[in-house]
């Protein structure tokens, strides 16, 4: 249990909280940009440990939540094509499209299957040679190398009925968009641990150069997060912003080079739509031309509409920290985990879902 128990120690957490309260004078707004951080902050009651000078904002760190509405509608449209099997991870099943969800079309007889690994998707394609299998590629740089490996495995196995709809997103690009956003006042960022394991600390150097703020890469246990907040507050009070890796047990400067190479061999940067932010240059990943035989967007000549939002749902504003979930008029009234209106309530990493499960406890 090394690297777990000591990072959950209540005495050390209490000490860090005391140090934060001792040095925090200037009102600050700190955003965590990872859904796993959001859940950990709520589950461990970290907000309640902080002084009134510190406001924590939850950012666009949930991959299901940031998937644009047009992309979700396109996925549902794929499921309605005869002889197509849609393969996805569980959270996507209940995300509402403009008129329905993948779960609804499955209940109407369409073949939509949930898998727990990329290998399962290949097995489905191999077992159904007369049908076309489309794997929904959702996520950041953490999952993109796994999907890339799956495409290469499909090519090696000669699976001509397998393809991927890539809706992957890139984290450094969205962080730059957040820091440039005029209506946001972010004083520091808690950077994602899982993504940083892949891309490394150096991936954030351009961000720090353009927008010098306190940036801290953090792990996911209470001590990790409180230590990151202490570092950010200390830098703000000293007026000495730095890019700091506070998760060295998992994150290096260069990151995982093998994963980066795998990702680069299959995907290339592309413009992408984000819920709440619209279209951001270079913030997505599309399948390279030499692998177009595995690109569902090309195979099915898909039309993915530009940014649109679900009527009445403030998920986009929640993802930017412009609103908290209780400020959405639908929260807990018509939007609940049992009957979600938007993806922020669906996903296990969604801010609305985290508020619902933990905030009042």
Nearest Cα to Cα of residue 57 among 241, 210, 183, 199? 183
pLDDT tens figures, 269-287: 999 999 999 999 999 999 9
Q: pLDDT higher for 349 or 87? A: 87
Specify burial of residue 54 (Cβ count, 10 A radius: 0-12, 13-18, 19+): buried
Nearest Cα to Cα of residue 192 among 236, 143, 150? 143
For residue 73 the two structure tokens come to: 């509608």
- Rounded to an integer, what distance in angstroms lies between the CA atom of residue 72 and that of residue 347? 14
For residue 360 the two structure tokens come to: 């009042």
Determine the distance from the C-alpha atom of residue 34 to the mean position of all C-alpha atoms in its chain, rounded to a whole number. Answer: 6
pLDDT attached to residue 308 = 66
218 by DSSP, 3-state: which? coil
Q: Could you give the domains of the chain?
A: 5-63+171-245 (3.40.50.11750), 66-170+255-299 (3.40.50.11740)
pLDDT attached to residue 2 = 60
In sequence order, the 6+-apart residues with CB closer than 8 A to the CB of 5 are none
- Rounded to an integer, what distance in angstroms lies between the CA atom of residue 50 and that of residue 56? 9
pLDDT tier at 256, thresholds 50, 70, 90: very high
pLDDT tier at 360, thresholds 50, 70, 90: low
335 by DSSP, 3-state: which? strand
The dihedral built from the CA positions of residue 334, 304, 113 and 356, taken in this order, carries a sign that is negative
220 by DSSP, 3-state: which? coil
For residue 275 the two structure tokens come to: 């819920």
β-pair type (188-191, 28-32) = parallel
The whole model's pTM is what? 0.93
Query: If you average pLDDT over residues 324-343, what whole number do you get?
Result: 93
Query: If you average pLDDT over residues 36-45, what whole number do you get?
Result: 94
Specify burial of residue 129 (Cβ count, 10 A radius: 0-12, 13-18, 19+): exposed
181 φψ region: left (φ > 0), alpha (ψ -120 to 50), beta (else):
beta
In sequence order, the 6+-apart residues with CB closer than 8 A to the CB of 310 are 69, 96, 98, 341, 342
pLDDT tens figures, 140-178: 999 999 999 999 999 999 999 999 999 999 999 999 999
pLDDT tens figures, 183-234: 888 999 999 999 999 999 999 999 999 999 999 999 999 999 999 999 999 9
């Amino acid at each position: 249990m090394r690297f777990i128990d000591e990072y959950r120690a209540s005495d050390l957490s209490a000490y860090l909280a005391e140090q934060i309260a001792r040095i925090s004078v200037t009102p600050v707004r700190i955003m965590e940009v990872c859904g796993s951080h959001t859940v950990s902050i709520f589950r461990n009651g970290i907000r309640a440990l902080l002084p009134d000078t510190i406001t924590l904002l939850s950012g666009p760190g949930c991959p299901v939540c940031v998937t644009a509405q047009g992309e979700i509608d396109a996925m549902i449209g794929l499921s309605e094509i005869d002889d197509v099997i849609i393969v996805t991870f569980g959270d996507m099943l209940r995300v509402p499209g403009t008129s329905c969800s993948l779960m609804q079309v499955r209940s109407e007889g369409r073949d939509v299957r949930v898998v727990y690994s990329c290998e399962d998707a290949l097995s489905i394609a191999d077992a159904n040679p007369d049908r076309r299998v489309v794997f929904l590629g959702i996520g950041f740089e953490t999952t993109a190398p796994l999907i890339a490996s799956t495409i290469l495995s499909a090519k090696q196995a000669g699976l001509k009925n397998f393809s991927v709809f890539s809706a992957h997103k890139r984290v450094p690009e969205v962080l730059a968009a957040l820091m440039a956003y005029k209506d946001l006042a972010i004083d520091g960022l808690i950077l994602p641990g899982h993504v940083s394991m892949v891309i490394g600390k150096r991936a954030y150097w351009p961000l720090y150069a353009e927008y010098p703020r306190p940036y801290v890469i953090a792990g996911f246990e209470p001590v990790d997060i409180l230590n990151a907040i202490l570092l950010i507050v200390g830098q703000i009070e000293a007026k000495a912003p730095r890019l700091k890796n506070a998760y060295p047990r998992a994150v290096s400067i260069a990151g995982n080079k093998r994963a980066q190479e795998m990702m680069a061999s299959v995907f290339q940067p592309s413009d992408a739509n984000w819920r709440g932010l619209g279209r951001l240059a270079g913030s997505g990943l599309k399948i390279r031309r030499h692998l177009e035989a595995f690109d569902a967007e090309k195979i099915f000549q898909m039309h993915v509409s530009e940014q649109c939002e679900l009527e009445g749902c403030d998920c986009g504003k929640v993802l930017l920290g412009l609103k908290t979930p209780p400020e959405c008029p639908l929260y807990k009234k018509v939007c609940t985990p049992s009957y979600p209106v938007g993806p922020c309530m669906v996903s296990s990493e969604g801010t609305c879902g985290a508020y619902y499960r933990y905030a009042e406890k």
